[in-house]
Amino acid sequence: MKRIPTLILTILTSITMWGCWLDEKHQEGKFMNDVVNLAEFNSQFDDYNSNLPQNKYGESFLIFSSKRDNRDFFNLVGFPTKIDYDSKKNIPVLSKSNYGLDSYSSTTFVSTFMSKINGNFNVLGPYVLSQNNLISYGTSPKYQFLFFADDQDKNLDIKVIYNDKDGKEIGPIPINYLNSKADDAYPYITYFGDKIFYCSNKDGNFDIYQATIGDKNAPYTTSMIDQIISPKEVFNEKIIPLSSNNADDKCPYLWGENLMVFTSNRAGGFGGYDIYYSVLENGTWSSPINAGPRINTQYDEYRPILPNLVHFSYPLMIFSSNRPQGKGGFDLYMTGLVEMDNMMKVKK
């Protein structure tokens, strides 16, 4: 069976995902210029490294690293979540849902997985994959993965816990083809399961890497589980345009197939870690653009994510920051990353 052409697949995906939870008036989504503290989810302790899995009904869950339960280490916590639209403020609102986490048939595995992952060590950069955000064909198995990195063995290693073809729970196990003797973390897997983006300090400072593990245009002959867990071939490479000298570039995350957001403490920013973005065109990533003073501060802006919400005409972003006036330490924030007109200028 051949891969579905990208354009057709994108259209079909847009129609089926996220239902009609926004009314027609707000389907395009007015750009969210405000930077809003997600106070309902934050605590007086450090809260960062979030992930918002895809769900077609607008009901999902927010999973992130926090020190609220284990004061000495970051462990994963998760909350049922919904996205509404505040017509008075004219902005989207992320809030806790009245439904229990286990009420979502497609995401019940996450709460179970978290209990197997947490411990007296740091657990960072969760990334959830299921049938909603990873391609599947016909009667192929429903994919349920939770990727993360922990320092249980001193260095950060990328690991995964998942359900196999028969629904059996496997892991946590390390993804050996991504790990080195240094720190490796923050994996992001593309929709076709053909590439994994991550960061590593194997060359000294943290840089952004790409592991190619498949070909999205090739005939579909391999289980997606096999392709991700034990690929036949792996090609690891540093993404030079995104990796700076003598600075740390971390936490890559994609919106669609050609917009990447990440964090960096490179020179020329506003202080600490700043959020940057880059656009892929003709196979090359553009020079990173600082997201600017609307988002970045003299403090640290960290682990930005761009949830795949098809009812928005721009990339909605959740990130972490230790700026003042929060609940304490790092807090989670939400805003729009960049208006599409400005992104098109980057491509030109």
DSSP sequence for 18-62: TTT-S-GGGSS-----S-EE-TTT--SS-EEEEE----TTSEEEE
The answer to whether residue 1 sits within a structural domain is no
The answer to whether residue 280 sits within a structural domain is yes
Mean pLDDT value of segment 287-315: 92
Instruction: State residue 139's pLDDT score.
Output: 59
206 against 100, higher pLDDT: 206
**Integer Cα distance of 33 and 338 in angstroms:** 9
- Rounded to two decimals, the pTM is 0.88
pLDDT-based confidence at 57, cuts 50/70/90? low
Q: What is the tally of structural domains in the chain?
A: 1
Q: What range defines the domain where residue 291 resides?
A: 6-23+32-347
pLDDT-based confidence at 214, cuts 50/70/90? confident
Domain harbouring 142, CATH code? 2.115.10
What DSSP element (H or E) covers 82? strand 75-86
348 against 166, higher pLDDT: 166
54 against 273, higher pLDDT: 273
